[in-house]
Structure 1
Amino acid sequence: MTRKAFGFLLISALLFSIYSCSGDGASKTIKIGNEQWAVSRSLNYLGKIILEENGIPAEIVNTDIENIYRDLNKGKIDLFLDTWIAGHDVYLYEYNDVEDLGAVYKGCRLGMAVPSYFDIDSIVDLKRDSSIYGNVFYGISKDAGVMISSITALKQYEMNPRIVSMEEDKLVKQLELMTNQKQNFVTGAWKPHWKIKQYELKFLADTSNSFIENDEIHKYAKAGFKKAYPKAAKILSNIFFTDDEFSDYLLVLKDATEPADIESKIRAWMKAHPEKVAAWVK
């Protein structure tokens, strides 16, 4: 190899190295873990779209909640934007090699809920007569924080209802059916979620202290994310919703379950709230 050719290759290698180290991980696609829950979809797809619109490739990786934290801990995925600090503590305790990009929402709550027309106010009322709700408890997957707390509460109250677990979208349809028919029912509930307002659900008083009543949702990243993706980390750290803002945002997405529909509705919301989005990406 001639000296001239060697010099050319050396310069090319240096330029490639500089390009590869510039920006947020150059052309590497950021992987965002996602659980198929309404709040999770709303935040993770929002993050994907905002990153893409700022020149950072991103993709959604759908899996269950425990796999998300396990893969985040191992660095197999880069982000999860729906971390409930107290609600997911069982996972954060085990999979703790992660970085916190800050809160996206404050004021979360977990509990048991009933429709407003159901004339009871506490879990104790359910225990007195299980026939008033058919001795059935409706919920989502048992590895969800609200279900772990609900099962703990049921044991504390020495109650043994039949637990019907289903995917969140199917649960919502079941609640809609029972509400339209004015049936009494009990379900695991969490705030924020559009179904609270849509179906006029009320939380039941709990004396067992099994439920979290003031939690926060944070944006979590794999270890080293801030250093590897400074631009992405800065943008994501700015994303925050007030209670009213998040309620309205979730209502916009309440019927969106397919990726194309979710992204379309999020883009429409972003277009309608340019000042909010601009503050995030400044």
Structure 2
Amino acid sequence: MKTRIQASIRLASLGLLATTGLAGGFAQAQDKGTVNLAYVEWSSEVASTNVVAAVLEQAGFDVNLTSLSAAAMFQALSTGDADAIVAAWLPTTHAEYMERIGDSVEDLGPNLDGTKLGLVVPAYTEVDSIADLNDNAALFDSEIIGIDPGAGLMGLAEEVVDTYDLDLRLRSGSDATMVAALSNAIDNEEDIVVTSWTPHWMFARWDLKYLEDPENVFGGAEQIHTVVRSGFDDDMPEAYAILDAFEWTPEQMGEVMLMNQEEGSDPRENARQWVEENQDVVEQWIDG
């Protein structure tokens, strides 16, 4: 497993790293070194990681972005291949990964409050509870549409299947394939059940609802935390301070996520635009 993760990190470092400078006034900032940020391809984490990258670039840092699976992301952080992530869902979703890497990282606390995990259906679906899925399995083709198999959400979804003894099969995929399946079902006014979370732009686009979870397998509301590698504060104290100060709202994140859904849009450029248009917020992060 460790060998596969290390190989994934090496491939990502070779093929997925992108280092660019901000246009306009940002390009004039003094080069202060390179910050390596890792993230998972969830719409929420794409938004937050790119915004943090734009802020660090404004402050004079170069930034490398590496997209990895959840397991590889935390492994990269623990080995120093990544300096920081702003994508740790705690205390439940990513708890196992945080326990594994232990003292090799530092948790800087939440950068966003108000998250939720669960099974989601269109609002017109008559089923309201996970406990009622078996009796209505045919409505959903006996499937729950999931995301990437390494995600903590999928681990919880597997627990849900076991706890409720569901006859529905959990199908893995990605955030994109899950959303595509949801969109197709809604276009055809069909029933579908998917794994999802808040904040996610799909709640702004469609009328959806979470299924009740009477066994509380998914737990209560979570927070998204910023986590850095051990020693990062000594190596890059200014970047560390910015990451420590970074905190925003689901509404602000939602603005960026919706921008990213526009056809042909570039998440990196969208983040830079948002940063330029929200300097009052950004200055609080940079000034601490």
Cα RMSD (Å) = 1.7
Name the CA distance, whole Å, in 2 between partners of 1:121 and 1:186: 11
Aligned ranges 1:160-179 → 2 under 5 Å: 160-179=167-186
Name the CA distance, whole Å, in 2 between partners of 1:186 and 1:42: 25
Q: Does 1:213 align with 2:211?
A: no
- Could you list the runs of 4 or more consecutive aligned residues of structure 1 that deviate by over 3 angstroms after TM superposition? 255-258
CA contact (8 A) 2:44 2:253 kept: no
Identify which of 109, 115, 118 aligns with 2:125: 118
Aligned ranges 1:154-193 → 2 under 5 Å: 154-193=161-200
Judging changes above 3 Å, is the alpha-carbon distance between structure 1 residues 257 and 58 closer, same or farther for their aligned structure 2 residues? farther
Name the CA distance, whole Å, in 1 between partners of 2:248 and 2:52: 13
Q: Does 1:240 align with 2:252?
A: no
Residue 132 of structure 1, CA deviation: 2.0
Q: Deviations over 1:126-172 (max 9, x none)?
A: 12231122211101012212111111011111113233221212221
Name the CA distance, whole Å, in 2 between partners of 1:170 and 1:180: 15
Q: Deviations over 1:93-118 (max 9, x none)?
A: 10122012231101111111100010
Aligned ranges 1:1-282 → 2 under 5 Å: 28-86=33-91, 87-96=93-102, 97-255=104-262, 261-282=266-287
Name the CA distance, whole Å, in 1 between partners of 2:284 and 2:34: 24
State the aligned residue count.
Answer: 255
- Aligned partner of residue 59 in structure 1, secondary structure: strand
CA contact (8 A) 1:256 1:262 kept: no
Name the CA distance, whole Å, in 1 between partners of 2:260 and 2:55: 16
- Aligned partner of residue 95 in structure 1, secondary structure: helix
Q: Specify the code of the residue in structure 1 equivalent to 2:88.
A: T
Name the CA distance, whole Å, in 2 between partners of 1:121 and 1:105: 28
Residue 73 of structure 1, CA deviation: 0.8
Q: Which residue of 2 aligns with 1:14?
A: none
Identity %: 25
Residue 255 of structure 1, CA deviation: 4.1
Name the CA distance, whole Å, in 2 between partners of 1:148 and 1:161: 15
Max Rg structure = 1
Judging changes above 3 Å, is the alpha-carbon distance between structure 1 residues 271 and 29 closer, same or farther for their aligned structure 2 residues? closer
Q: Specify the code of the residue in structure 2 equivalent to 1:232.
A: A
Residue 243 of structure 1, CA deviation: 3.0
Name the CA distance, whole Å, in 2 between partners of 1:268 and 1:83: 25
Residue 38 of structure 1, CA deviation: 0.9
Q: Specify the code of the residue in structure 2 equivalent to 1:264.
A: E
Judging changes above 3 Å, is the alpha-carbon distance between structure 1 residues 247 and 150 closer, same or farther for their aligned structure 2 residues? same
- Aligned partner of residue 61 in structure 1, secondary structure: strand
Q: Specify the code of the residue in structure 1 equivalent to 2:52.
A: G
| Unaligned ranges ≥5, structure 2 | 1-30
CA contact (8 A) 1:38 1:254 kept: no
Name the CA distance, whole Å, in 1 between partners of 2:70 and 2:250: 24
CA contact (8 A) 1:37 1:168 kept: yes
Q: Deviations over 1:28-68 (max 9, x none)?
A: 42211122221111111112221111111110122211011
Judging changes above 3 Å, is the alpha-carbon distance between structure 1 residues 54 and 27 closer, same or farther for their aligned structure 2 residues? closer
Residue 257 of structure 1, CA deviation: 8.4
Name the CA distance, whole Å, in 2 between partners of 1:255 and 1:150: 30
Q: Specify the code of the residue in structure 2 equivalent to 1:134.
A: D
- Aligned partner of residue 153 in structure 2, secondary structure: helix
Name the CA distance, whole Å, in 1 between partners of 2:251 and 2:231: 33
Judging changes above 3 Å, is the alpha-carbon distance between structure 1 residues 139 and 255 closer, same or farther for their aligned structure 2 residues? farther
Q: Specify the code of the residue in structure 1 equivalent to 2:224.
A: I
| Unaligned ranges ≥5, structure 1 | 1-25
Residue 274 of structure 1, CA deviation: 2.0
Residue 219 of structure 1, CA deviation: 0.9
- Aligned partner of residue 258 in structure 2, secondary structure: helix
